[in-house]
Each structure stands twice: as structure tokens, then as C-alpha cells.
Structure 1
Amino acid sequence: MVKIALGHHQEAAEPDCVRAVAAEVILTFLFVFAGVAAAMAAGKMAGGTDTIMGLTAVALAHGLVVAAMIAAGLHISGGHLNPAVTLGLAVGGHITLFRSLLYVLAQLLGSALACLLLKYLTGGLDTPVHALAAGIGAFQGVLMEIVLTFSLLFSVYGTIVDPKKGCTAGLGPVLIGLVIAGNVLAGGPFSGASMNPARSFGPALASWNWTDHWVYWVGPIIGGGLGGLVYEHIFLVRTHQPLPRDDESF
């Protein structure tokens, strides 16, 4: 059963909500600024992102910055940086729908500001948008984004949300950064490996290129929602029943 909490508009006036929303703007801005800048820098180098070196550099940049930003914002907003993550946590009842809406708007604003600033700082260069590779159809792209985002949310739940995360406690942001980097390496040459509608929104806005942009909303939203639902309702155990002692098992 989905554990959705609607919330109330009065949340918007609560100090912790205001701080959290402001944090999502800043965290997403910094993440997108570094991620898109890395892609732009790789594009200026020989071969660009079409080479394994360029792709690895972009994947590493995204993974490192995601890990740092999640760690920086975990105690303020949860360090979502991503509408798909926000939705994945909302379906598990970890954030209200009203606050989720505020988070998504903040993430889109942060991404847009980062890309508009990059366009200015680079002398008007277009910010590279996520795009489907030659031979990859829209349906294939959506499926790729679903799988990649599912793995991201599964990791978020397993390394941060789950109270029984065990030895991964404290390592969640780093491990999520590794998943992001790995997914970019795996899916980048095919769908672009967005996993994040906000990450795709800013470059599309700054370059005004909306080709197949819907793919990077539909895929991550479905994947994020499924990832949250599956972990929350199948793997998340909130109570612990002790195993019977040997003398009680007969």
C-alpha cells in the first residue's frame, strides 16, 4: 500500500521547510553547475564525451559532486537534488506531497540558474542536453532511464533510508555517488543517463532544445516511484522479531 502523506500549505511557512527548500535550490544549483560544466569541458577536449575518457570524466564529476552535495544537505533537506528521488521518498511516506512539490520547484530553479549562468560564463555556449543516441528509440530511452533511476532509488533506500542499513551507515552519500557514476558509464552512450528531470531541465531551458525532453521526465519518475515502492514495501523492515532460541524451537 502506498504511504502517501498529503501535507498542508502551512508547511511552507515552517522554518525547517523554508531552510530545506532553500537548501534544495543551492544543492541542485551546485550539482548541476559542476555536472554540466564537466560535460561542456569534455566537449571542448579532443574527442569530447564520445570517448571513454570523456565519458569517464563526466561520470566521475557527477558521482563526486552528488556524493558531496547529498552529504552537505542530508541533515537539512535530505539532499534530494532530484525530483525522481523526491517522488521515490514521497511514495514511502518519507516526505509530504506538498513539500515534495516545493522541493521539485526548488530543484528546477537551481538547475535553471546553474545552466543560465554557465551559458553566460562560457561566452554563450549551448549547454549540452540529454539526448537519445542514434538507433535508440524513445521507448528504449524511457526503459533505460527507468532501470537506471530504479537502481538509484533502491540505493537511496538501502544506504540512507533503511534503519537497518548496518555497515553502510554514514557511507550513503558516497555509495549513491558511485551508483550515479556507474550508471552514467553504463547508460550515458545510449540515453544520456539522466536519472534526474531537474538535471535535464536546466540545459534544455538554457539551450532551448526540448527534443525528446519528455523521456527524461517519464523514465526517471516511473523508475524513482517504482524503486521507492519496491524497497519500502518488500525490503524495508521497521520492526525486528528476535529469532527463537534453540530451547524454544521445539
Structure 2
Amino acid sequence: MGSSALTARFGEAITKKALRSYLAEFISTFFFVLAVIGSAMSSRKMMPGGVAEPGALVVEAVATAFALASAVYIAGSISGGHVNPAVTFSMAIGGRISLPTAIFYWISQILASIIACVILKGTTAGQEVPSFGISEEMTGFGSSILEGVFTFALVYTVYVASSVDPRNSVGGPGLLGQGQELRAIGPIMIGFVAGAGVLASGPLSGGSMNPACAFASALVAGSFRNQAVYWVGPLVGATVAGILYDNVVCVSASQPSADSTALGF
């Protein structure tokens, strides 16, 4: 019985519709990481001596907000527009997508992030790819908490504002009776929260909120120092956001349809 259910789950994860979702995640994540890491490289290139200045933080926050809003928008109707392993992990824990589907999402997101960083390094004549890091005043534990809190805010916004919430789907009643309008503005709100997170936590914990982006930049840069911060904190924060939303704030929306469970939207 258990083996049969697992086989069925894997069968759902390799359908044509599912494969299109993985491709959509790959494309949107690739664009997001290319813009985020690329903006960091460009801003530092323009700074005297290549040393990051306050202006670089604003550039990176704006790039994060614009890129994430665009990435969620272009993939939202196909894959749910996760663009982040923490979002996918939260969906899997909450039963909105199956474990096999979540694994393929992760593979797509991480592979896209690595390729984006490799392209940036190759096309900029070997210019250093910046990796996320914590400040000297921060501990690994404190940085994990900070990354977790801001990832919580990001993922909670995803649940509320994006197509993840069945009430916000096109043609649905919507939170305020305007489902289509909420769906249209959802990616913008998600981008705003991510940008605010970068502004608030960038100089302290790095402001990643995305394990795939942090891992890929560290891999290409060749430095995995404090890498656990960018996995433990975001995954825990994302899980708490999903559990709180589904079981406390909006219980009625916690049971998605079969289609949404399979493909994450």
C-alpha cells in the first residue's frame, strides 16, 4: 500500500505538466540569481577600490525586489513561482506539493542558481563572484535567526499574496472579493518584502533568504563559511510561516485541490 502510494507520487512528479513546472522554476530562478548576484558584482565594480559602500546595499535590494517580482510573475501560473528552496520546503511540509515534486523543484532551483553564477564568473573575465557572509559582530546562531525571521516574512507573504492561496486564484472570490487583482499584485508584494529584507539584514547576516542563491554563489566563489546559516534559518522560518498560515490564520485555505498539491499552485 505504501509502496503503491509512493509510486503514484513519483508518477505525478514526471508528467508533462510537472516537467513544465520544473522548467519554469529553472528559468525563473536562473533569472533571479543572475540579477541578484550580477547586481552585487556590478555595484562593487563601480565602487572605489571595489569595496562595497552603502549605495551597493540599495542597488542589491532594488535588484532583488525587481527580479523576484518578475520571476514569480513569469512562473506563477505554471509552477507556482517558488524560486526558492525554502518556499518549496514549506509547501512540502504543509502537504501542498508531494515530496518527489519538491525534490525536483530543488534540483531545478539549485542547478539554475549554479549555472547563473558560473555564467557571471565566465562572462566577466573571472571577476570574483560575491558570496553571502555575516558581519564580525554577528554569531552563526544570531544570523540564522535573522535569516529565518526575514524568510518567514517572505514565505508568509507568498502564502497570502500569491497564487498559492486558492482564494486568490483568477476568477476566485479573493481575500477582498477581488481575486484577480490580488493575484496580479501578489508578485510585486513578494518582491517588496524581499527587498526590505535585504535592506534590513544585508550588512548583518547577508540578506539571502534563499538557500539556492547562497549555495550557488558560495560554490562558485569557493567559500562555504557559515553556509549552514543560509539553510537552517530560512528552512525553519519558511516552515513556521506555512504552518502558521495554514493552521492558524487561514485554516479554510489549507486544503488545496489535487492539482495544486501536485504542482504547487
Q: Distance in 2 between matches of 1:51 and 1:207?
A: 20
**Equivalent runs, 1:147-226 vs 2, <5 Å:** 147-160=149-162, 161-162=164-165, 163=167, 164-166=174-176, 168-226=182-240
**Equivalent runs, 1:18-97 vs 2, <5 Å:** 18-46=19-47, 50-97=52-99
Q: CA-to-partner distance for each residue in 1:211-243, whole Å, 9 max, x for gaps?
A: 11111011110011111111111111427xxxx
Percent identity, aligned pairs only?
37
Q: Distance in 2 between matches of 1:169 and 1:25?
A: 22
Q: Distance in 2 between matches of 1:59 and 1:116?
A: 22
Letter of the structure 2 residue corresponding to residue 114 of structure 1: A
The answer to whether the 8 Å contact 2:211/2:230 transfers is yes
Show structure 1 runs of 4+ deviating over 6 A: none
Aligned residues: 235
Letter of the structure 2 residue corresponding to residue 220 of structure 1: P
TM-score, length of structure 2 as denominator length: 0.84
Q: CA-to-partner distance for each residue in 1:122-170, whole Å, 9 max, x for gaps?
A: 1111210000111111001100011000001111111123314335342
Q: CA-to-partner distance for each residue in 1:162-216, whole Å, 9 max, x for gaps?
A: 3143353421100000000000000001001111100101111111111111110
Aligned counterpart, 1:248: none
Aligned counterpart, 1:134: 136
Aligned counterpart, 1:242: none
> Can you give the 5+ residue segments of structure 2 that lack an aligned partner in the other structure?
168-173, 254-265
Letter of the structure 2 residue corresponding to residue 17 of structure 1: A
Q: Distance in 1 between matches of 2:175 and 2:230?
A: 30
Cα RMSD for the two superposed structures: 1.7
Q: Which has the larger radius of gyration?
A: 1
> Can you give the 5+ residue segments of structure 1 that lack an aligned partner in the other structure?
240-250
How far off is 1:114 after superposition?
Answer: 0.3
Q: CA-to-partner distance for each residue in 1:6-57, whole Å, 9 max, x for gaps?
A: 7622123300111001111111111101110000011112266743321111
The answer to whether the 8 Å contact 1:154/1:227 transfers is yes
More helix by share: 2
CA pair 70-211 structure 1, distance change in 2 beyond 3 A: same
